[in-house]
Structure 1
Amino acid sequence: MSLNPPASFVPAWNPTMKFLSTLCLLLFTAPCLAEDEAAVDQPTAPVRTPLWDGPAPVGGGETESGNAWITVHHPEEANGTAIVICPGGGYGRLVLGGEGHKIAAWLNQHGITGVVLEYRLPGGRHAVPLLDAQRAIRTARANAKDWQLRPDRIGIMGFSAGGHLASTAATHFDSGNPTANDTIDRVSSRPDFAILVYPVVTMGEHTHAGSRDNLLGKDPSSELLNLYSNERQVTDNTPPMFLAHAIDDTPVPIVNSRQLHAALQQHNVPTQMLELPSGGHGLNGYQGPMWDAWQAASLGWLKEID
């Protein structure tokens, strides 16, 4: 017996039925389409993770229970470059918005992976921020394959006191410990380049006193003052640096950048310095033509040194 109805029982394909069929198709498929589009069009959400597994080092073989954090901002299409971002704040706080996550979002627009570093505040323990910055660089390099990075394009960027930290990481580094149990400790902490924006550089005459006191304490030794005056720590192996500074910056005078730029030139290290005619410290609150100028110039410089 045939299960197919006679032709006379097959309903006509009228406009009403066509509308209902189309509606059902949309209702059932729309969620799937939305999920697929989200997976294709949106980058991976930023992930905030602790920097240290277990107790964090403070220098001299000692550790503490506190930790630093990194937030990794992945672009939609990674170009292989990553930058560890060190916010400013005088080594007494962290400006995570305008000098942190907003910078990472801007870098993402240009295919660059942004790694916002929430380094531990030193409170006179001078080694702590540097240990965190070195660990962040090693972490990015150790994860190069998973993060779609080139291990030779891991840089660091810093603003104000974060610029001091970035310049410290760019002048105080090692090649890693090949016998370390921790695979992250096996890779180099040397950044491949540094971008410094209105940075504190020296601990000498032209320093920012608050940053110096928070990093080194109220009565630092001459040895510490010299060690963290990064214009004095440049060598032939120092990585390329881009510097941007306003000539009317009062809290952190432009001489900080000028001295570092001169030291880099003396050692034939590739360097570019952008002296901005106005904007003060913070470049008009992270907006306007002076802010736009350093961003455009630094991106152009990155292409030149690749």
Structure 2
Amino acid sequence: MTSIIPLWNHAAPYAAIGHEDEMPHLIPFIHPGSESAVIICPGGGYGFLADHEGAPIAELLNRAGISAFVLKYRVAPHQQPAPLTDGQRAIRYVRAHAEDFGIHPSKIAVLGFSAGGHLTAMLGTVYDEGQTEHADPIERVSSRPDRIILCYPVITMESYGHAGSRENLLGPEASDELVIAYSAEKQVKADAPEAFIWHTSDDGAVPVQNSLRYALALGAHGIPYDLHVFEKGSHGLGLAEDDAAVSAWSGLCLTWLKNQGW
């Protein structure tokens, strides 16, 4: 693992007043010889970033021969569009420096847990091909992830989502237009990336309907997905090493990634 990689060499855009010096960054876990990478977005309700959903996941990917980056994106008091901008910049950065990392620029996936899953789903729906005339070469490349992995994700900002994530991201009095814009299931496009999704059916914090609705949205556009719903398991399990049933998700995910060419 090398040093922290700041996403900008200047103040990050859309900073909360009084927090302009907070710098979103990547922590790289490069596996020599890997041509593929996964950017990891820990959860935490857009209020903090859960450590157990960061480095341990990168280390799992490294053991499977895949390079990884843990994204330290901005959370409250920063609000939208700061986290999404951080995620888009992370994808652009890794893609722009793919040769330096030994990574193929079309093998960059994003994996997210809970609110980090919401960020990941948004990255899989709100993207562009880059601004070819931009002065910053990083901004000239695409922000579209090639695959996404959603782990008990918050998907919607509507009633069955997660109230804490919504308030931290959108504020306490978000407009209907903003709620729709940040409900990822409503933003799926025909060229959205394929997805691996898992949840537990009795998740009491983020209902499984979030994953089901996103899968249905992908299916409506003919986009392949691999969906796994485990019968029991609390929210925020990470690798779920103490749960023999749910811990199977990581092996299933690695198999899916391998089948995708990662």
* Cα separation, 2, equivalents of 1:215 and 1:184: 25
SS in 1 for 2:84: helix
Counterpart of 1:35 in structure 2 is none
* 1:78 Cα deviation after fit: 3.1
Question: For residue 81 of structure 1, what is the aligned residue in structure 2?
Answer: 36
> Does residue 68 of the first structure (1) align with residue 24 of the second (2)?
yes
Give percent identity, aligned residues only. 42
**Which structure has the larger Rg?**
1
Match of 1:249 among 184, 191, 203: 203
1:296 pairs with 2:256: no
Moved more, 294-303 or 198-207: 294-303
| Residue 124 (structure 1) shift | 5.8
Q: Which residue number corresponds to residue 152 of structure 2? A: 198
In structure 2, the residue matched to 1:260 is 214
- What letter is aligned with 2:251? A
1:47 positional shift: 2.2
User: How many pairs are equivalent?
Assistant: 257
TM-score by structure 2 length?
0.94
Q: Report the Cα offset of residue 98 of structure 1.
A: 1.1
Match of 1:146 in 2: 100
Map 1:1-306 → 2, pairs under 5 A: 45-58=1-14, 64-75=20-31, 77-95=32-50, 97-123=51-77, 125-283=79-237, 286-287=240-241, 288-306=243-261
Q: In 2, Cα distance between the equivalents of 1:133 and 1:58?
A: 13
Secondary structure of the 2:198 match is: strand
Q: CA deviation at 1:260?
A: 0.2
Deviation at residue 283 of structure 1 after TM alignment: 3.0
Deviation per residue, 1:107-162 (Å, 9 max, x gap): 10111111101101143621000000001001111111111101001010000000
**Deviation of 1:55 (Å):** 1.5
Deviation at 1:69, TM superposition (A): 1.3
For the 8 Å contact 1:89–1:161, the answer to whether it is kept is yes
User: For 1:281 and 1:267, how far apart are their aligned partners in 2?
Assistant: 29
Deviation at 1:289, TM superposition (A): 2.0
**Counterpart residue type for residue 23 of structure 2:** N
In structure 2, do the counterparts of structure 1 residues 148 and 285 end up closer, same or farther at CA, with 3 Å as the change threshold? closer
Comparing both chains, which one has the higher relative contact order based on Cα–Cα distances under 8 Å and sequence gaps of 6 or more?
2
Could you tell me how far 1:249 is from its partner in structure 2? 0.3
Give the 3-state SS of the residue equivalent to 1:298 in structure 2: helix
1:292 Cα deviation after fit: 2.5
CA contact (8 A) 2:27 2:69 kept: yes
Q: Confirm or deny: 8 A CA contact 2:132 2:140 kept in the other structure.
A: yes
Using structure 1 for the length normalisation, give the TM-score. Answer: 0.81
Name structure 1 gaps, 5 residues minimum: 1-44
